[in-house]
Every structure is written in structure tokens, then in C-alpha cells.
């Protein structure tokens, strides 16, 4: 709207009215600060919190009624988790803090980049970030045309998530292709930090045991770790579970041998597997 033009000119040297990205919660515009730095400005759609308040209140009432009819399910718990995630997603101050934390976690990893938050131009409904252009991580044709090794990209993406889950305990929970790009130097660019997840240390250690068991094809080790995580309840007859996990381990091994079709060679998988192996010696828990 032209009503905001004087304010935009006060804050920015230039501001593109046409968004470069748009979604249900907001849209993103390119802009240039008076310092000459290129940025993107994420602007939330108006009235979202009021809509969330109305819809989530109706869902809360529904969850309470459903819980009365089914003692084996926790619909109120599901509602509470969904409401928390949705309200966090429309709090751009929270998203900016997440981005800062994510960037600090990867400060010693030169092949992962996180946009810097310009706090002086941000608010709960507006978030201004460093402009980091890149090629969508799934656009194989453009990556190859730019001379970027897709095998390296796949290996880095795998290692980045192992680091998030097993070392940092803080991970990007919305990693669709629109939120992960690759720059001209082959570095991973992560966008949109509204939905993040956290893993407490004892769970991280058990997840590490699961990864290590898969790497070693150790069915008993995987079962033991899953029991400690509470994913599996021990019973007198564990034979069917053992068979299912054994089948999974064999199947995942076969699938990795076909990864050339999506740009990950056996050599790339072996490198990622070796990364998990090293993590047993505390690389990812440091």
C-alpha cells in the first residue's frame, strides 16, 4: 500500500513491491538498506493471530470432547503441540532468535550458511534478513550446470542433519526444498526458522546408538536403543520385531546401492556412514 511508502523509503534505499516468495503465512520481498546491503524482508499477512485464536479455540473444544470418548488417545496433547508450533511460526522475533542460534551452532562449519538477522528492521510481524541467493537443492539440472557436485551436496546435507540432531540437539523441522538452497561455492543455505525442534541430551545419545546400529547392521543394538527410547515396548516375543528390523536393515543397504539415480554414489554413502561411525567417538556430542 502507498500509505507505507514514506516509512519504507525511510528504512530502505529500495524495496521491491513484487514478492520473490509467498506462502499462507506471509511473503518475502527484496530490499536494499541505505548502507547498500541487500536484504530480504519477510512480511506477515494481516490478521493471522486473530484467525488462529478463533480456529484453535474451536479445535481445543473439539479435542476436549474427543478425549472424553477415547481414553487411549491424547487429543488435547496433540492440540497443545499444534497450537504451540503455529503460534511460534507467526512470531518473527522467535524465528529470528532461532536463526541466530542455528548460525552460532554452525559457526565453525564453512559450508553451511544462515542469513544474518537485521534486528533494527525487524518486529513480531516483520523479519529482515541478509539476502542469500542460491539454487534449490532439488534442482539437479541447475546445480550440475553451475558445476556443483551433487554428490557433495547430498553428503553435506546428510552431515548437516546429523550434526543438528546428534551434536546440537536443535534442528530445522521444515526442510522442504524451498527452505534449503546451494550457493555458487556449494555451500548449503537454510531459510525459514519458524519451525525448529529440540532433542534433549539423553535422547540424542540413544538416537546415536540407533544410527550406529544401522551403520553396523546390528539388529540387537538397534532394538536395544529403540527400547531405551520408548519406541518399542519389550515383550515375551520379540521375534517379529527382530525380523522387521532385520528386514529394514537389509532394505536400507540395498537402497543405498541405487542412489546414483538421485546423485548420491556408494562412495558418498560410505562417507556419510563413516561420519556416523566417527560420531560414536563423540564427534557429534562434543
**Interval 89-139: pLDDT, tens:** 999 999 999 999 999 999 999 999 999 999 999 999 999 999 999 999 999
- 198-224 core/surface letters (b: 16 or more CB in 10 A; e: else): ebeeeebebbbbbbbbbbeebbebbbb
Higher pLDDT, 279 or 218: 218
Q: Which of the following is catalytic: 74, 174, 183, 218?
A: 174
For 99-159, what is the HEC assignment? HHHHHHHCCCCCCEECCCECHHHCECCEEEEECCCCEECCCHHHHHHCCCCHHHHHHHHHH
55 tagged catalytic: no
pTM over 0.75: yes
* 256: number of Cβ within 10 Å: 16
If pLDDT is split at 50, 70 and 90, which confidence band does 265 have?
very low
Q: pLDDT for 153-210, tens place per residue?
A: 999 999 999 999 989 999 999 999 999 999 999 999 999 999 999 998 888 888 889 9
Residues 94, 88: contact at Cβ < 8 Å? yes
| Cβ-based neighbours of 47, under 8 Å, separated by 6 or more | none
Amino acid at each position: 500500500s502507498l500509505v507505507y511508502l514514506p516509512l519504507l523509503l525511510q528504512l530502505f534505499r529500495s524495496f521491491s513491491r513484487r514478492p520473490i516468495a509467498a506462502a499462507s503465512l506471509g511473503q518475502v520481498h527484496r530490499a536494499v538498506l541505505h548502507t547498500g546491503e541487500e536484504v530480504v524482508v519477510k512480511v506477515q499477512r494481516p490478521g493471522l493471530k486473530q484467525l488462529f485464536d478463533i480456529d484453535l479455540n474451536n479445535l481445543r473444544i473439539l479435542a476436549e470432547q474427543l478425549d472424553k470418548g477415547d481414553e487411549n488417545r491424547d487429543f488435547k496433547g496433540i492440540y497443545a503441540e499444534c497450537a504451540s508450533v503455529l503460534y511460534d511460526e507467526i512470531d518473527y522475533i522467535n524465528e529470528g532468535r532461532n536463526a541466530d542460534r542455528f548460525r552460532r551452532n554452525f559457526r565453525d562449519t564453512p559450508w553451511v550458511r544462515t542469513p544474518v538477522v537485521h534486528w533494527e528492521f525487524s518486529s513480531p510481524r516483520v523479519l529482515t534478513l541478509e539476502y542469500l541467493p542460491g539454487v534449490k537443492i532439488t534442482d539437479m539440472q541447475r546445480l550440475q550446470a553451475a558445476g556443483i557436485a551433487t554428490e557433495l551436496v547430498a553428503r553435506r546435507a546428510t552431515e548437516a542433519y546429523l550434526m543438528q540432531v546428534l551434536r546440537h540437539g536443535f534442528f530445522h523441522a521444515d526442510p522442504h526444498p524451498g527452505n534449503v538452497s546451494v550457493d555458487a561455492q556449494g555451500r548449503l543455505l537454510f531459510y525459514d526458522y519458524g519451525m525448529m525442534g529440540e532433542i534433549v541430551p539423553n535422547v540424542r545419545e540413544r538416537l546415536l546408538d540407533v544410527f550406529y546400529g544401522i551403520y553396523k547392521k546390528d539388529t540387537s543394538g538397534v532394538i536395544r536403543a529403540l527400547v531405551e527410547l520408548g519406541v518399542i515396548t519389550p515383550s515375551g516375543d520379540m521375534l517379529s520385531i527382530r525380523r522387521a528390523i532385520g528386514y529394514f536393515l537389509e532394505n536400507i543397504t540395498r537402497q543405498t546401492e541405487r542412489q546414483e539415480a538421485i546423485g548420491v554414489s556408494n562412495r558418498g554413502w560410505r562417507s556419510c556412514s563413516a561420519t556416523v561411525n566417527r560420531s560414536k567417538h563423540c564427534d557429534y556430542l562434543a
